[in-house]
Amino acid sequence: MKISELFSVAGYGVIVTGGASGLGLGYAEALAENGARVTILDVDGARVDAETKRLQAQGLALRGEVVDVRDHAAIERAFDAAVAAHGRLDVVFANAGIDSGPGFVGSWAGAQRPRNPEGALERYTDERWNRVIDINLNGIFATLRAGARLMRPQRSGRMIVTTSVAAYQCEPAIGAAYMSAKAGAAHLMRQVAHELAAYQITVNAIAPGFFATNIGGGHAKQPAVQEAMSKAIPMHRVGFADDIKGLALFLASPASAYVTGQQISIDGGWTLGVAD
């Protein structure tokens, strides 16, 4: 077998939650462009419709459905519908997530990072905390559970969780709920990987650093923010969705058949520390 064949996902049935924008859309494009049949699930109906039409117009096998990952019954129904449409389920990207508002210091864009009262622990409301945990952690749980239900009987599959470098490194500009949910999702991934390994189902995580996506209201797309962050990243640039496609394809393909329970950082060296 040629090494290139190990990366083939042609004909695979794939589901991506939070797949209508950002990294989720990058995952969907990477798999669909390489012959997979992809279903994107997202709460934003307008984006689901627009991206589904755009990618279908390119001749890609892609369908979309509006699903809120807080509705666990809806996730189960969407998974069944995807299998009915594509005939199989090989890969699940548990990706849907939101930010949790400001942390206890100010924005990355400023030269100074003073304390931010809005991000202080005592200002956290139950509503703010619970919403982030419900989407970023409970939504991951429900997605992995739906995938396991379908993959365990066939004794094969790939599940990939989007965590963050925030799962293991403190960042005071990010809200505590986000940090906690991502750390929880990382450990959940390891536990599920341990359980499902005997069924030849791999479960891994992609831990992005600073990427220019729509999360946080598009804050990361602002030139001033990107310029400031680029100074702190050893590669001197922020990440974009295209940067993550290769890793997504690797973890979804036979090339990663003996890799499970791993969280792989993709951050341009951010977690190494400032170099210059």
Could you give the CA distance from residue 94 to residue 141 in angstroms, rounded to a whole number? Answer: 9
Would you say the pTM of this structure is higher than 0.85?
Answer: yes
Hey, is 215 helix, strand or coil? coil
Task: Report the helix count and the strand count for the chain, using DSSP H and E.
Answer: 8, 7
Per-position DSSP letters for 159-197, written without gaps between them: EEEE--GGGTS--TTB-HHHHHHHHHHHHHHHHHHHHHG
Distance from the first to the final alpha carbon of the chain: 43
* Structural domains of the chain, with CATH: 7-264 (3.40.50.720)
Residue pLDDT tens, the chain, 276 long: 789 899 999 999 999 999 999 999 999 999 999 999 999 999 999 999 999 999 999 999 999 999 999 999 999 999 999 999 999 999 999 999 999 888 898 765 555 678 989 889 999 999 999 999 999 999 999 999 999 999 999 999 999 999 999 999 988 888 999 999 999 999 999 999 999 999 999 999 999 998 988 765 566 778 887 888 888 899 999 999 999 999 999 999 999 999 999 999 999 999 998 888
Cβ pair 98, 166 in contact under 8 A: no
